[in-house]
Amino acid sequence: MDNKIVLVGAGSTSFGPKTIGDLFISDNLAGSTITLHDINKEKLEMVYEICIKENEIREGKFNIERTTNRTEAFKDANFIISSIEVGKRFPLWRQDYEIPRKYGSTQILGECGGPGGTFHAFRILPPVIEIAREAEKICPEAFFINFSNPMARVCLAIKRAAPKLKFTGLCHQIGFFNVHIPRMLDLKLKNLKMTVVGLNHFGFLLGLEEFNSGKDLMPQFHSKAMKYFKKHEDRFMFSTLTFEVYKRLGYFPHAGDNHLGEYLQFGEEFTEKQDMIDWLDRTDEFGNTIYQKVLKGYNRLKKGRYPKRGILFRNLSGERAVPIIEEILTDKKKIESSVNIPNDGLVENLPQDLVIEGPAIVDKEGIHGIKMGNLPKSIAALLRIEATIQDLCVEAVLKESKELAIASLAIDPNVGSFEMADNIFSELYQLQKEYLPQFK
């Protein structure tokens, strides 16, 4: 196929190697041009040279090019996969976590929710908005796929800043359900139709059917879930907080304790502080391990000792970007169980100017969300609180408004005070101002 696929943030080792590996596995996309784009010239060159070598191993399956010029990268693009980050991710994340708690915030992680998630958004939204607007202008027919966190806020900013751009946001968190539920019910994943709806990292299992017969499997799930997940309890995933929310609301949250707790004032009550610190440390270590593997491969390449089979995985990563591109091009009308898309009537009792996470159908025109009607009132009530915070957060960046920025912090359940919001804003702004909007 003669398509141009642009990887923005190609120097990132968080998603770059996975996406590139998935592309090289794809036979449907053979013959396409893969354009690597990053503003970090050194990392871009390293990834480019590795890709050239991997392409040689596969007898020139793709046309590989690289550029630091975004206008050049986007020209004639059919698909754009963006996975950018701003600054040194983990030192900044530690600031996002520690400083709000210093002033009394109950946040437990600070990546996508809570005041830490808000500052993460403040940093990353300006360049994402710039990228999206440029894509809308240069290649208006291209399909844009976002991997950057905080996912829901990034996607909402794209929706508002580039309203004509076709886009989705993808998160692999649903993959944990894809592993556990088939095991629990002793069924294959392909025979299950799961309906998980909400916001990114804040969704709930609302329906479960046998794919071919349409048999309702929710009664079976409810009869087995608590016993199964307690047996497979994981302090980072399905543990005390998940069980409490499931018991109280009657709907199982899919994201795991560490992510779910970011949005809940009572998250701290059911999680251990050290577990969250350990998760951050483990995530940092995992990212460094991947980087070291890529760097080792690059050093071997420069010495003429690159592995004959290459260094990319030979199996699909589980990320959905490349499969979705294939589904668009082949027009197979496949169902994707979890994508981030504009609400626009999909969930009636949530704000319409919102990006939700839920199931969708993919065809040659792109991604079309499946209507869910009204969510259970208890679930919708929780989601609307976070939706309000996301609304103010995105508007604060678009308008460079300090007033809105502090308001988005103050109304967060993990803050709940203008005095605390002022203190958090002042210290984090001084530490991170080189990456932040010029709030006025």
Query: What is the set of active-site residues?
Result: 172
Residue 226: partners with Cβ closer than 8 Å, 6 or more residues away: 243, 246, 247
Going by DSSP bridges, is the β-strand pair 63-67/33-37 parallel, antiparallel, or unpaired? parallel
Distance of alpha carbon 68 from alpha carbon 40, whole angstroms: 8
Neighbours of 96 (CB within 10 A): 27
DSSP alpha helices (H): ranges in 232-375? 240-249, 257-260, 273-302, 321-330
Check: CB of residue 153 under 8 Å from CB of residue 116.
no
Going by DSSP bridges, is the β-strand pair 192-199/202-210 parallel, antiparallel, or unpaired? antiparallel
Residue 224 CA: distances (Å) to CA of 5, 23, 244, 253, 260 = 43, 38, 16, 15, 21
Distance of alpha carbon 372 from alpha carbon 347, whole angstroms: 5
Beta bridge partners of 197: 204
Check: CB of residue 95 under 8 Å from CB of residue 89.
no
Check: CB of residue 405 under 8 Å from CB of residue 432.
no
